[in-house]
Amino acid sequence: MSGPDAPSAREQILDAAEALFARKGLDATTIKDIGAAAGQNPALLYYYFGSKEELYRAVLQRVLSDMAARGGAAVDSAPAPADAIRAVVAAQMEFVLGHPNAPRLLVRELIDHEAREAEALLLQSAATLFERLCGVIAAGQRDGSFRGDLEPRFAAISTIAQVVYFTIARPAIGLFLRAGARGVPEATAKQFARHAGDFAVGALSTAETT
Amino acid sequence: MSGPDAPSAREQILDAAEALFARKGLDATTIKDIGAAAGQNPALLYYYFGSKEELYRAVLQRVLSDMAARGGAAVDSAPAPADAIRAVVAAQMEFVLGHPNAPRLLVRELIDHEAREAEALLLQSAATLFERLCGVIAAGQRDGSFRGDLEPRFAAISTIAQVVYFTIARPAIGLFLRAGARGVPEATAKQFARHAGDFAVGALSTAETT
DNA sequence: GTCTATAGGTGGATAGAC
DNA sequence: GTCTATCCACCTATAGAC
């Protein structure tokens, strides 16, 4: 009946809530904020989602499954471990630039609720992604291209930390890099992503790179 | 008159506010929460700090100057660039384990206010620390112990990202490492800090590390 | 499915006694 | 300096008309 191209009231609420939860947090975002941003009646939120918290969980679920889908492709994209590492880091930055809400939302969830709301979602999406990244590192260690004295799980954490930190700390990094008053330009973010791939591969490799 | 050893009402409010702002955030923490946690009358907050926001800024200021003081010592602690890098990473983890409130508080500030409240404080403390870390990396590049093809500022970001990310993502990392239901033990955090020093030095060095 | 109106509760901040 | 009492604004959620 109503085509899937015309965004339903439900989807408009979901989109508006995602943006507001990311920018202001669950607590500081009011039902009326969401209604106004969605161009819908605030009371509709209760009709579709039951409560503000259930809406929040719906938002988290959508972001996490999106992230897992994109991340999975990157791990498989290259046969050589070093190239796969670079691909994962590049995909991370691409995802984050395309979904600026995602990192804010997830970091808030980690700090505000210690991942309680997202625990089940993390285990069925991000955790398998993490395991596969660890697998790539272990494979590199077996074929001799990576140093054997690093713990693969720790190395995976160090690898993905770079882009996440860059994104979260972007206002501070803007100050550090003395890049004007308003944040870090996207071009710099892309340069950093290339650097982060090199940095991780350099840390993992037995010989110097390039 | 009243000795500096007996914590004043003002200090008790400051301590309680720091813990609550770190755990629940500025918005979700109420004046009455702070008063109860401090064992003081909530109205005293206005007598000493004028408003909740001014109290928040006072908390941020104390944490940031503490962090800058500890970080400064680490940069100077070793003559060789590689050792200085390791010292900085180790100091980061020590600071964070001793002040669990600090990273939460700062990350919240970055996400909630894009560092607006902390901008002046960051520029007079963290920024100079960051510059000095960049200086250590550049020195290593000049003396030939570090690769010359990495941008020092980016390398500094990658280096400090590790411990920060590990700390913030600790609930998720607990799930990834399958370390029980309740978080990552402190021993694992210290192991990770040693790893992170190796990882950064490995990424920066021209030859493979032992 | 969408809207209005409102109940019921809580929060920041102040006035003023002591 | 510390406390009680309270004002006013705002928020979540629901009831019920359309």
Q: Compute φ and ψ for B207, nearest 5 degrees.
A: -110, 165
Smallest Cβ–Cβ distance between A207 and the set B28, B114, B208 belongs to B208
pLDDT at B123 over 60: yes
A9 touches strand C (CB under 7 A): yes
**Residue A4 has what pLDDT?**
53
Tokens 């938002």 belong to which residue? Answer: A59
Question: Other CB atoms closer than 10 Å to residue B182's CB: what's the count?
Answer: 9
Smallest Cβ–Cβ distance between A110 and the set B110, B155, B168 belongs to B168
The answer to whether residue B80 neighbours chain A at the CB level (below 8 Å) is no
When computed from its CA atoms, the radius of gyration of chain B, rounded to whole angstroms, is 20
Smallest Cβ–Cβ distance between A168 and the set B110, B119, B209 belongs to B110
CA of B165 to C1' of D17 (A): 52
CA of B194 to C1' of C8 (A): 55
CB A137, CB A146: distance < 8 Å:
yes
- Partner-chain contact A171 B25, CB within 8 Å: no
CB A101, CB A22: distance < 8 Å:
yes
Could you list the beta-strand ranges (E) of chain B. Answer: none
**Residue A101 has what pLDDT?**
96
Q: Looking at the DSSP assignment, which residues form a beta bridge with residue B205? A: B146
How far apart, in whole angstroms, are the C-alpha atoms of residue B91 and residue B95? Answer: 6
How far apart, in whole angstroms, are the C-alpha atoms of residue A156 and residue B163? Answer: 13
CB A184, CB A173: distance < 8 Å:
yes
Looking at per-residue pLDDT, the higher value among B121 and A208 belongs to: B121
pLDDT band at B2 (very low <50, low <70, confident <90, very high): very low
- Partner-chain contact B149 A104, CB within 8 Å: no
For range B50-66, the mean pLDDT: 96
Give the residues of chain A that fall short of pLDDT 50: 1-3, 209-210
**Residue B124 has what pLDDT?**
86
* Amino acid type, A6: A
* Residue B50 vs residues B14, B35, B112: alpha-carbon distances, Å: 13, 14, 21
- Rounded to two decimals, what is the model's pTM? 0.94
Mutate to test the interface with B, among A53, A175, A209 (most CBs of B within 10 A): A175
**Residue A180 has what pLDDT?**
63
**Residue B181 has what pLDDT?**
63
Q: Which nucleotide is nearest to A33 (CA to C1')?
A: D11
CA nearest to B153, candidates A157, A11, A173, A76: A173
**Residue B86 has what pLDDT?**
98
Angle at B167 between CA A124 and CA A199, to 5 degrees: 85
Long-range pairs for A133-140 at CB < 8 Å and ≥24 separation?
A: A133/A75, A133/A88, A133/A159, A133/A160, A136/A75, A136/A81, A136/A84, A136/A85, A136/A88, A137/A81, A137/A85, A137/A204, A139/A81, A140/A81, A140/A82, A140/A85, A140/A204
pLDDT at B144 over 50: yes
Residues from chain A contacting residue B154 (CB–CB below 8 Å): 191-192, 195-196, 199
**Residue A86 has what pLDDT?**
98
How far apart, in whole angstroms, are the C-alpha atoms of residue B55 and residue B22? Answer: 13
pLDDT band at B180 (very low <50, low <70, confident <90, very high): low
In strand D, the nucleotides that come within 7 Å of a protein beta carbon are 1-5, 10-16
For range B59-78, the mean pLDDT: 92
Average pLDDT, chain B: 93
Return residues 141-200 of B near A (CB < 8 Å). 147, 149-151, 153-155, 157-158, 160-162, 164-166, 168-173, 175-177, 191-192, 195-196, 198-200
For range B108-117, the mean pLDDT: 94
Q: Considering chain B, what percentage of its residues have pLDDT values greater than 90?
A: 85
How far apart, in whole angstroms, are the C-alpha atoms of residue B165 and residue B61? Answer: 22
Looking at per-residue pLDDT, the higher value among B185 and A1 belongs to: B185
Residues from chain B contacting residue A203 (CB–CB below 8 Å): 199-200, 202-203
B54 touches strand C (CB under 7 A): no
Query: Most distant CA pair in chain B: distance in Å?
Result: 62
B40 touches strand C (CB under 7 A): no
SS3 for B76-131 is HCCCCHHHHHHHHHHHHHHHHHHCCHHHHHHHHHHHHHCCCCCHHHHHHCHHHHHH
**Residue A159 has what pLDDT?**
98
CA nearest to A173, candidates A183, A163, A162: A183
